[in-house]
């Protein structure tokens, strides 16, 4: 017992001296519980919505007010034509498009069924399911309100539903789960391997003592950073190719967009992930610390990027935190190209975000990595 007590005391002293590891062991569970406890919510509300109201009458405004009051739809855009609705849904600016026909008010007043088209971006199956069920319920409630007035003079006649909500789920109308999950899994695999591998690159050199040999070479700091990144870009290409081939052959995942564009933008995401891994490598001292910090990045990437849970259901703080993760933008690129078939004209904001992420992460890494033994 004396020997065991001495060993325990020694381990606790060592743990206290390694402040970074101790802080991650204590703080990491608390932070993750708080972040994920507030952020993860499967009840998707406040879906960004674009409206094309061709009737411009009070009845149409009352219907839109019902959508807005439900809290499941947030009307952010008002379109001037059908093409504007299509562009907003394709680009991802809007998850839902509501189109009220010009004869909506006339049909309501004359006792005919008035159709309203609701376009839903079904590439995100969880958000789409919430939107469809909510839209149908709103149509039913609005119909009941109008039927109460109409049936008073109907004298037993069969009455058509006043409001006919016609749902059009785009991109994945059958809600096939692999169509939604497989592109996301590709992003998760690349994040996990790229960040984890490179996060231990410089630390491994330091622990093995080979960092001294690199320091005495005439290479500059940015050249060392690039030397650690470039080989793994080809590894990322292999992983992406395997994932796309398996997704197409096994799960019949469609490829509606340009495969060349997908590979080009995948390069940006791979470099962004590698840059993040190198940044972790420059601020940690041991491989264990590097691995722990990699998991600290990996779990938020899974839960806050929109891979498993719709980002629209998150509180605003955690929705904005998702913008700090390169996977958030890459998932929009993946699902946009694979499922929607959109081009670069709809993806400029995501591309710009990845480029900024790369420049910032690499710049900080180069500054922190000094060509000397720390």
Interval 222-254: pLDDT, tens: 677 777 777 888 888 888 888 888 888 888 888
Look at residue 327 in the predicted model and tell me its pLDDT: 92
Name the one residue in this structure whose structure tokens are 């590891």. 21
User: Is there a contact between 269 and 325 (Cβ–Cβ < 8 Å)?
Assistant: no
Look at residue 127 in the predicted model and tell me its pLDDT: 78
pTM value > 0.75: no
Name the one residue in this structure whose structure tokens are 């402040």. 19
Residue 215 pLDDT exceeds 70? no
Query: What is the chain's alpha carbon radius of gyration, rounded to the nearest angstrom?
Result: 27
Residue 330 pLDDT exceeds 90? yes
Residue 32 pLDDT exceeds 60? no
Residue 326 binned pLDDT confidence (cut-offs 50, 70, 90)? very high
Residue 337 binned pLDDT confidence (cut-offs 50, 70, 90)? very high
Angle at 69 between CA 63 and CA 70, to 5 degrees: 95
Identify the CATH number of the domain defined by range 47-155: 3.40.1710.10
User: Is there a contact between 346 and 261 (Cβ–Cβ < 8 Å)?
Assistant: no
Residue 22 pLDDT exceeds 70? no
Q: What is the largest CA-CA distance in the chain?
A: 96
Residue 373 binned pLDDT confidence (cut-offs 50, 70, 90)? very low
Name the one residue in this structure whose structure tokens are 């899974």. 302
Query: Hey, where are the domains in the chain?
Result: 1-40+176-372, 47-155
Tell me the C-alpha distance between 108 and 147, whole Å.
10
CA dihedral 321, 327, 329, 332 (to 10 degrees): -120
Look at residue 333 in the predicted model and tell me its pLDDT: 93
Residue 317 pLDDT exceeds 90? no
The partner residues of 48 in beta bridges, in order of sequence, read 74
48-52, 59-63, 315-319, 358-362 — which is least confidently predicted? 315-319
Residue 41 pLDDT exceeds 50? yes
Interval 340-360: pLDDT, tens: 888 898 899 999 999 999 999
């Amino acid at each position: 017992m004396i020997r065991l007590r001495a060993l325990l005391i020694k381990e606790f002293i060592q743990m206290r001296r390694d402040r970074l590891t101790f802080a991650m062991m204590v703080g990491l569970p608390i932070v993750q519980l708080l972040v994920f406890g507030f952020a993860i919510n499967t009840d998707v509300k406040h879906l960004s919505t674009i409206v094309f109201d061709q009737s411009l009458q009070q009845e149409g405004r009352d219907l839109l007010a019902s959508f807005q009051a439900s809290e499941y739809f947030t009307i952010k855009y008002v379109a001037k034509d059908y093409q504007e609705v299509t562009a907003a849904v394709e680009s991802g600016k809007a998850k839902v498009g509501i189109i009220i026909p010009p004869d909506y008010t006339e049909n309501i007043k004359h006792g005919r069924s008035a159709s309203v088209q609701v376009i839903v971006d079904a590439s995100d199956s969880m958000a789409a399911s919430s939107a469809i069920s909510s839209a149908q319920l709103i149509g039913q409630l609005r119909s009941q309100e109008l039927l109460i007035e109409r049936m008073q003079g109907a004298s037993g006649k069969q009455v058509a539903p006043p409001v006919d909500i016609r749902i059009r789920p785009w991109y994945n109308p059958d809600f096939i789960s692999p169509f939604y999950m497989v592109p996301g899994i590709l992003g998760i695999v690349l994040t996990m391997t790229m960040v984890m591998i490179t996060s231990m690159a410089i630390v491994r050199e330091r622990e093995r003592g080979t960092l001294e040999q690199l320091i005495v070479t005439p290479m500059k700091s940015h050249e060392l950073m690039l030397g650690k990144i470039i080989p793994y870009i080809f590894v990322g290409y292999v992983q992406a190719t395997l994932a796309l081939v398996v997704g197409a052959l096994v799960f019949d995942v469609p490829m509606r967009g340009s495969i060349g564009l997908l590979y080009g933008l995948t390069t940006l995401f791979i470099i962004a992930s590698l840059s993040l891994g190198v940044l972790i490598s420059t601020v940690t001292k041991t491989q264990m610390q590097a691995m722990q910090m990699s998991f600290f990045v990996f779990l938020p990437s899974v839960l806050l990027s929109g891979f498993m849970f719709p980002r629209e259901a998150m509180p605003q703080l955690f929705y904005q935190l998702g913008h700090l993760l390169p996977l958030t933008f890459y998932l929009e690129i993946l699902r946009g190209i694979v499922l929607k078939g959109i081009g670069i004209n709809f993806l400029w904001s995501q591309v710009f975000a990845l480029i900024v992420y790369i420049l910032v992460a690499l710049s900080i890494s180069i500054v922190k990595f000094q060509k000397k033994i720390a």
